[in-house]
Amino acid sequence: MGMWELVVVLIVGLIVLGPERLPVAIRTVARWIKTVKSVANSVKAEVSEELRVHELHNNLKKAEQQGMQDLAPELKQSVQELQDAAESVRHSYKSTENNKTKTNQSSS
């Protein structure tokens, strides 16, 4: 929005809402814009992460088909990242299960 457009919007807002309600309306609109931007950034980050995971998954499939010995260096790195992520999830799951088992044994 240009400078003159903003001035026109403020004048119309002042006429329609009055001097008491205009600041409240501006704050409300600013909060809505902030919320929308936050949601958009969150969705953008999730889509980006999903694309990365999809790419790693495809690289892992390629690795399984070609065999690990003739992989390109960047493909080896992607496979290693995926294996590390899988191991991290397994470790987290095992520690959660162990905590549940300990909690159940101590409450019995």
Quick one: pLDDT at residue 108? 54
Helix 73-107 with 3-66: angle, nearest 10 deg:
90
CA distance readout (Å), 88 to 17, 49, 104? 56, 17, 24
Contact 75, 63 (CB under 8 A): yes
Residues with Cβ < 8 Å from 10, sequence gap 6 or more?
22
pLDDT tens-place string over residues 51-61: 998 998 888 88
CA distance readout (Å), 14 to 4, 11, 20, 22, 31? 15, 5, 9, 6, 19
Distance CA 61, CA 42 (A): 29
Q: Give the tokens for residue 53.
A: 């995971």
Mean pLDDT (10-residue bins), the chain, 108 residues: 86 89 91 96 94 89 72 75 85 74 64
